């Protein structure tokens, strides 16, 4: 499992400790983790693109507090997993209004943190097994079922997700999308297209039809693509 986490904490010692514990947790379980650190809510919001899976958020910070950050994140439509880190237990009830998954009380201990992060990763696992992916750009964040994706197109430095209700453009590489979607039978037919095998309707020569659209297969990927398609369909090559 891979995930991207943000630690927003104004105390540098606590910030470093939390980031280190997330990295340790991931390393022990062979997870891929990217952990970003922010000294306050303003720094986080200035860098915010809606592309985090987990948000560890201090509540009592100068300027914009953690609850206000969480409200802005939810107002943007982001379903990121939020865990508050605080010594203010009275915020537990308020946390429900922003759908916080859990609270970690200060002072933070390694054992207590690991137990809480087990719950975070169980939730991440449920989201992955349910076949949903998060798509995010500067203007929008969506949780999309993999069955709603016809194919993914690499366009310059962007990805275009071709959905049944329109297209969604975001930053990313086709390799990143392939790693995320491979468990759901998405296969590349050329260097630019990652195809949901569920919607392959047929083809001729080096052209395949995906949900009514014609896409070209490259010669270098044709054999591998047809092999995976045959496996998916339960046939033989």
If one compares 12 and 235, the residue with the highest pLDDT of the two is: 12
Residue 227 phi/psi, 5° resolution?
-60, -50
Residue 60 has pLDDT above 50, yes or no: yes
Domains of the chain: 2-130 (3.40.50.2300), 136-233 (2.40.50.1020)
CA distances from 145 to 56, 161, 203, 230, 237 (A): 25, 12, 26, 24, 29
- What string of DSSP letters covers 148-161? GEEEEEEETTEEEE
pLDDT in tens, 82-130: 999 988 766 666 677 788 999 999 999 999 999 999 999 988 877 766 6
How much is the average pLDDT of 167-191? 93
Measured from the Cβ of residue 21, the count of other Cβ atoms closer than 10 Å reads 21
Residue 236 has pLDDT above 50, yes or no: no
CA–CA separation, 183 and 173 (whole Å)? 17
Tell me if 31 sits within 8 A of 56, measured CB to CB. no
Measured from the Cβ of residue 162, the count of other Cβ atoms closer than 10 Å reads 21
Q: What is the pTM of this model?
A: 0.60
- pLDDT bin (cut points 50, 70, 90) of residue 234 is low
Among residues of the chain, what percentage have pLDDT more than 70? 94
How much is the average pLDDT of 151-180? 94
């Amino acid at each position: 499992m891979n995930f991207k986490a943000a630690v927003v904490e104004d105390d540098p010692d606590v910030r470093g400790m939390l980031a280190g514990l997330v990295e340790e947790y991931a390393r022990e379980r062979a997870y891929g983790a990217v952990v970003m650190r922010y000294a306050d809510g303003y720094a986080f919001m200035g860098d915010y693109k809606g592309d985090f899976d987990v948000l560890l958020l201090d509540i009592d910070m100068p300027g914009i507090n953690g609850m206000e950050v969480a409200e802005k994140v939810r107002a943007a439509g982001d379903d990121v997993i939020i865990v508050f880190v605080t010594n203010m237990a009275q915020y537990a009830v308020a946390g429900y209004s922003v759908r916080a998954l859990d609270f970690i009380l200060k002072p933070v201990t390694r054992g207590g943190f690991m137990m809480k992060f087990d719950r975070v990763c169980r939730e991440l696992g449920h989201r992955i097994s349910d076949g949903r992916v998060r798509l995010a750009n500067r203007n929008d964040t969506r949780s999309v079922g993999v069955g709603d994706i016809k194919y993914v197109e690499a366009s310059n430095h962007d990805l275009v997700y071709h959905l049944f209700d329109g297209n969604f453009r975001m930053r990313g590489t086709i390799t990143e999308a392939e790693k995320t979607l491979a468990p759901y039978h998405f296969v590349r037919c050329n260097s630019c297209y990652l195809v949901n095998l569920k919607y392959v309707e047929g083809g001729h020569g080096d052209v395949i039809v995906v949900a009514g659209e014609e896409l070209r297969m490259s010669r270098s990927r044709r054999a591998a693509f047809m092999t995976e398609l045959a496996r998916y369909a339960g046939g033989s090559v």
